[in-house]
């Protein structure tokens, strides 16, 4: 497939004629005469987005999502690569399990699917998983996401061991004594009034504070998943200022946009771990994403069936969809308000996540000779989010009914069009 996009804008403010031939960007003058021609006036060509935090549910929970439907949602959102979390059945904790996820991606994916290995066997926080064997197969991100690696010695060992392979531990920071399995609402006036089990902000930050010191001590790479509190931001900022370890952090679109009062309806669409926070935490997260304290936006795309959500709030499954609206939320909060330019969006949603995940062929510039991973964006297009139109198999979309940008016109992965409006 050959495509020429003429007069399209780039993230640096310039414009260009782009050509895609045999999976790479080439000089537009070298495109064949029968190439598809697209008028790029008013559009932006950005590197394909990369999500370091996706739950695809297959194998094991195909009633909520499959690799095919999840990556179709990813392509609809402008993504050309997603990292698949290991909370599957079987857990991605062995050298045999990791290739299964990768093969499903090659067979059914509308974008690249990169397996994440579990840190501990069964994600139970005890014995280390087959870290070295998975690393030998190319796995570079390891996480027990959905569960915290709460034992200090286990975390020390994981950081030390993975340093050998340039692997990174991606931590779900939740102190199980401060926020146990039933915790589901930010500890505040709202949790007290609604009678919901509370999740104090320090339950997240005390784990991150311990972990960054262990990362300094071991020299291992550490990534804080879905941080949601001002205290966590302060600790990450402190650690980066010290510069003694490779520390990175992510924030989700929903923690940037949605606040604690959303749970007052007891709508379990808004139940998520960590929980939605109050405005002082939200603003701290936004500021940290702008100034680079938070490195990336990770969707934590977490599809669930209606049956898993149709329970009392404190026992319903936690999680929200995110792949299709992530770019829209970032545009609404940061680009439209002037807090962030397009080059910064590219860094937070493409370049940096590819770098953290050690995926060198993703997050690359839109330039001659580079792999043709591209999202074509219409900055002016808006729409009302409708959960029934989601490409995902599930419908737990927290943005339903909101008027947001609807920017993705086309997604190209390795030269192949995976979404087109």
In eight-state DSSP terms, residue 123 is G
Q: Tell me the three-class secondary structure of 174-238, residue by residue.
A: CCCCCCCCCCCEECCHHHHHHCCCEECCHHHHHHHHHHHHHHHHHCCEEEECCCCCHHHHHHHHH
- The string of DSSP letters for 232-300 reads HHHHHHHHHHHTSS-EEEEE-HHHHH--GGGGGG--GGG--SSPP--HHHHHHHHHHHHHTSS-EE---
Three-state SS for 403?
Answer: strand
CA distance 277 to 282: 7
Q: Do 109 and 76 form a contact (C-beta atoms < 8 A)?
A: no
Length of the chain: 421
26 has which bridge partners? 19
Q: What are phi and psi of 161, to 5 degrees?
A: -65, -45
**CA distances for 217 relative to 156, 222, 273, 404, angstroms:** 9, 12, 29, 44
Give the closest residue to 162 by CA, choosing from 221, 244, 239: 221
211 is catalytic: no
Give the closest residue to 55 by CA, choosing from 252, 247, 229, 262: 252
Retrieve residue 352's tokens.
């940096």
Q: What are phi and psi of 70, to 5 degrees?
A: -65, -40
Retrieve residue 199's tokens.
């999740």
Helix axes 97-108, 67-76, angle to 10 degrees: 60
Give the distance from CA 314 to its chain's centroid.
25
Considering 175, 295, 300, 308, which one is annotated as catalytic? Answer: 300
Burial level of 307, CB count in 10 A (0-12/13-18/19+)? Answer: exposed
Q: Do 307 and 396 form a contact (C-beta atoms < 8 A)?
A: no
The residues assigned a catalytic role are: 300
């Amino acid at each position: 497939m050959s495509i020429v996009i003429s007069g399209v804008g780039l993230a640096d403010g310039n414009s260009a004629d782009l050509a895609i031939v045999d999976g790479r960007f080439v000089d537009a003058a070298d495109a064949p005469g029968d190439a598809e021609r697209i008028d790029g006036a008013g559009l932006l060509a950005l590197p394909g987005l990369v999500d370091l935090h996706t739950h695809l549910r297959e194998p094991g929970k195909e009633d909520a999502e499959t690799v095919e439907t999840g990556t179709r949602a990813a392509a609809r959102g402008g993504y050309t690569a997603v990292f698949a979390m290991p909370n599957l059945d079987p857990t991605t904790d062995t050298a045999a399990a990791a290739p299964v996820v990768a093969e499903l991606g090659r067979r059914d994916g509308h974008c690249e699917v990169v397996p994440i290995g579990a840190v501990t066997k069964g994600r139970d926080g005890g014995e280390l998983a087959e870290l070295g064997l998975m690393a030998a197969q190319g796995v570079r991100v390891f996480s027990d996401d959905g569960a915290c690696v709460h034992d200090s010695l286990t975390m020390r060992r994981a950081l030390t061991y993975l340093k050998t392979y340039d692997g990174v531990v991606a931590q779900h920071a939740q102190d199980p004594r401060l926020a146990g399995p039933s915790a589901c609402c930010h500890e505040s006036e709202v949790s007290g009034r609604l009678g919901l089990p509370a999740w104090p902000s320090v339950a997240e930050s005390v784990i991150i504070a311990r972990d960054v010191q262990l990362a300094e001590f071991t020299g291992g790479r550490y990534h804080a998943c879905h941080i949601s509190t001002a205290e966590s931001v302060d600790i990450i900022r402190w650690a980066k200022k010290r510069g003694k370890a490779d520390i990175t952090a992510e924030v989700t679109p929903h923690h940037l946009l949605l606040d604690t009062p959303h749970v007052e309806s007891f709508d379990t669409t808004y139940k998520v771990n960590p929980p939605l926070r109050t405005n002082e935490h939200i603003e701290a997260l936004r500021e940290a994403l702008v100034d680079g304290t938070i490195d990336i936006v990770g969707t934590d795309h977490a599809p669930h069936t209606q049956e898993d959500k149709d329970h009392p709030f404190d026992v319903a499954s936690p999680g929200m969809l995110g792949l299709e609206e992530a770019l829209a939320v970032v545009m609404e909060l940061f680009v439209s308000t002037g807090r962030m330019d397009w080059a910064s969006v590219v860094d937070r949603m493409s370049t940096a996540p590819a770098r953290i995940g050690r995926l060198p062929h993703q997050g690359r510039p839109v330039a001659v000779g580079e792999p043709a991973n591209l999202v074509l964006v219409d900055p002016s297009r808006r729409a009302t989010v409708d959960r029934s139109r989601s490409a995902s198999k599930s419908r737990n979309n927290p943005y339903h009914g909101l008027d947001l940008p609807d920017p993705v016109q086309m997604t190209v992965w390795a030269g192949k069009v995976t979404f087109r409006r």
